[in-house]
Structure 1
Amino acid sequence: MKKVIIVDDEAPARKLIKEFLESHKDLVIIEECNNGVDAVKAINTFKPDLVFLDIQMPGLTGFEVLQRLEEMPQIIFSTAYDQYAFKAFEVHAVDYLLKPFKQERFDEAIQKIMDNDKGYLSQLQNLVSGLNEQETYLTNILVSVRNKLINIPVDTIIYIKADGNYARLILEKDSHLTSYGLSKLEEKLNTQQFIRVHRSTVININAVKEAYSYPSSYELIMTNGDMVKVSRSYLDNIRKLIV
């Protein structure tokens, strides 16, 4: 059995894919998403084998979703815009379905998955790894809050703490849960500005108001008034800032 997630901002498109999947009993739908941010969270949480992925969506495009995944499933793009076809195959998607498509064309895409389980997956993993190496640091983060997306400039983040399997952005007056784990999010941020001070905490050094030194630790007072403790393992990250 293969786990499937459907990602498309249009409900009729998601419904059509579900109908076409009914004849493929070994493919089981475990989640549906209507935007890129929720897609990243769902894929990283449920680790599907296959994702039907729209390209133009609120929050993140399908290509941006790929660059934020912890593990790479097989991808079948589905979109109404044929100008993305070349780029889709550049990222070695299993197939590219141009809307509107029929059951026969859909079944062809599924057959490619069955014939090329390992080959396509390996190519896609290598491609996304290359994309990530070329990425610049994040300057903004989109987070999902109920039925909308909020744009958070990274400079406004006071610190970031682990919250279960995800990371919570602590701002001046509120906080927001992201779809990333702490370590994965840390990789996306400028290491000259965001540093690890605890296994569960990354701080924005520009948001440190005061620091209190103790024999084997530091306590940092942030601009929002919160106190963040520096654990023994990360003392050098603070000491190297002292001049």
Structure 2
Amino acid sequence: MPRVILIDDEPPARRGLRRMLAAFDDIEIIGEAGTIDQARTLIGTLCPDAVFLDIELSSGKGFEIVADLSSETAVIVVTAYSLYATDAFDVAALDFLVKPVDPDRLQTAVGRLRERLAQKQPSAGTGAGAQPPARILLKSMMSSVLVPVNSITLLQAEADFTRVHLDTDQTYLAAGLLGKFETDLPSPPFRRLDRSLLVNLDQIHSVEWQAGGRGLLRFSANDREIPLGRSATKRLRQLLDD
């Protein structure tokens, strides 16, 4: 059952969307927020499958929230301004709805959310018996290189490419989205912390838990420090406590 949070600074708009979503028996609305701070608190506490996000909030732009979201939380933009469509694409929003929301478009968005959650379920070919690759091929416009999987410390999304960091301090800008590498690499030890960061848990040397729910990640093979947002820090805490 998809668990969602509604984020809009206008209570009538939230009530209207709640009524429309009531038509879908499998959608569970687990919270509502009218400000960015309220939304961040709810998201950090409840870990929803998706947020229905207005952009023009009295406390700022709704896109401020997206940077702290886990990659596992889908974003469905709901706004009165069609000019934000490009920005929604940039943050990989699952769908873009223009107010007043059309019921058919809302049904399409809910369908996409259902499909996304279904794809996250483990398939028959990805069980514990599957043999993880020893090396992975990194392709760029100029060359291709095979690197040992266990030498990778982290991977970062860079537009349509992925920056791959090795324990030798080398980095490669490889063709392909981060999601493709997430699929190809064994999990564990590789785990997604947010929309742009995939880390090798076996390579972590230490984590400095900082004020404001943020963290600083250090790897065992070098002195590189990676700052983490609230959502990534919360996700890492969960993974390390398991």
Query: Quick one: distance in 2 between partners of 1:58 and 1:187?
Result: 28
Deviations 1:77-120 (A, max 9, x none): 0001111011102222110000111222211111111223348x
Aligned to 2:47: 47
Change (3 A) 1:122 1:59: farther
Query: Quick one: distance in 2 between partners of 1:60 and 1:71?
Result: 22
| 1:187 is aligned to 2:234 | no
Aligned to 2:16: 16
Give the 3-state SS of the residue equivalent to 2:78 in structure 1: strand
Give the 3-state SS of the residue equivalent to 1:40 in structure 2: helix
Matches within 5 A, 1:217-236: none
Give the 3-state SS of the residue equivalent to 2:196 in structure 1: helix
| 1:90 is aligned to 2:90 | yes
Where relative contact order (Cα < 8 A, 6+ residues apart) is larger, the structure is 2
| Alignment TM-score, normalising by the size of structure 1 | 0.51
Which runs of 5 or more residues in structure 1 are unaligned? 131-161, 168-179, 190-243
Query: Quick one: distance in 2 between partners of 1:98 and 1:46?
Result: 26
Give the 3-state SS of the residue equivalent to 2:6 in structure 1: strand
Instruction: Check the 8 A contact 1:92/1:127 in 2, yes or no.
Output: no
Larger Rg: 1
Aligned to 1:114: 114
Deviations 1:166-199 (A, max 9, x none): 94xxxxxxxxxxxx41427x9379xxxxxxxxxx
Aligned length: 142
Change (3 A) 1:27 1:115: same
Counting aligned pairs with the same residue, the percent is 34
Give the 3-state SS of the residue equivalent to 2:44 in structure 1: helix
Change (3 A) 1:114 1:91: same
| Alignment TM-score, normalising by the size of structure 2 | 0.51
Q: Post-superposition, which runs of at least 4 consecutive aligned residues in structure 1 deviate over 6 A?
A: none
Which runs of 5 or more residues in structure 2 are unaligned? 121-177, 181-191, 198-208, 217-225, 230-242
